[in-house]
Amino acid sequence: MPAFRETALTIDPRFNNKPLQELSAMGASHRITIVNANYDIPGGMQSVGFPGSSADALLGIARLIPIEEEVIILRHENQVRDVIEYESGRAFYRADMTLRNQEPPIILKLKNRCQSTADNLFKRPGFYQVISNPYEQHLFVRTIDELPFACCSLVVAHNVADKQA
């Protein structure tokens, strides 16, 4: 289990007891997927609620536990524009800028991933394929976000020191 970050940053009060317990139980290499209010979480998957936007959940989680740098952002297969050209993408980008400008900075790499298998042309899995890996320990965080495609996925890092160096 990763240690919570030891910083002067405050924990978002919307992460009440259950989400904090579930996040603290996540080990290195476990996947966390943040989904909007309309996302259909597969049956039997571990999930917790977060009463805020998907970008706020990403911001709170990245401040709380060490995560790998790459954060995968959902986009529609017909949407060829960059992540910051749609509203949920801009919200994730603002969260990323906030993390980069704090002390210590947390650097994320926002990556677009299509929802379909069209990405297979580029020899990389689409968003749904990434989050559907049956061999990964997984936690879904459902937000109240109504923005289309306000979903992202990240992996818990091994320890805080590796991600702050």
Q: What is the pLDDT of residues 8-41, one digit of tens each?
A: 456 777 877 787 788 877 888 889 999 999 988 8
Asked, for residue 11, whether it belongs to a domain, the answer is no
At 30, which CATH number? 3.40.1650.10
pLDDT at 149: 81
Residues 50, 133: Cα–Cα separation, whole Å: 23
Higher-pLDDT residue of 113 and 88 is: 88
Q: Please give the model's pTM, rounded to 2 decimal places.
A: 0.81
Asked, for residue 10, whether it belongs to a domain, the answer is no
pLDDT at 92: 86
Overall domain count for the chain: 1
Tell me the pairing of strands 31-35 and 152-155: antiparallel
User: Count of CB atoms within 10 A of residue 79's CB?
Assistant: 17
pLDDT at 51: 93
pLDDT, tens only, 47-101: 999 999 999 999 988 888 888 878 888 876 555 555 556 788 788 888 889 988 8
Return the closest-CA partner of residue 152 out of 57, 29, 34. 34
Higher-pLDDT residue of 106 and 145 is: 145
Asked, for residue 6, whether it belongs to a domain, the answer is no
Determine the structural domain holding residue 48 and report its residue range: 17-164
Asked, for residue 106, whether it belongs to a domain, the answer is yes
Asked, for residue 109, whether it belongs to a domain, the answer is yes
pLDDT at 90: 82
Contact 36, 127 (CB under 8 A): no
Residues 37, 24: Cα–Cα separation, whole Å: 23
Asked, for residue 84, whether it belongs to a domain, the answer is yes
Asked, for residue 5, whether it belongs to a domain, the answer is no
Return the closest-CA partner of residue 2 out of 97, 96, 139, 110. 139
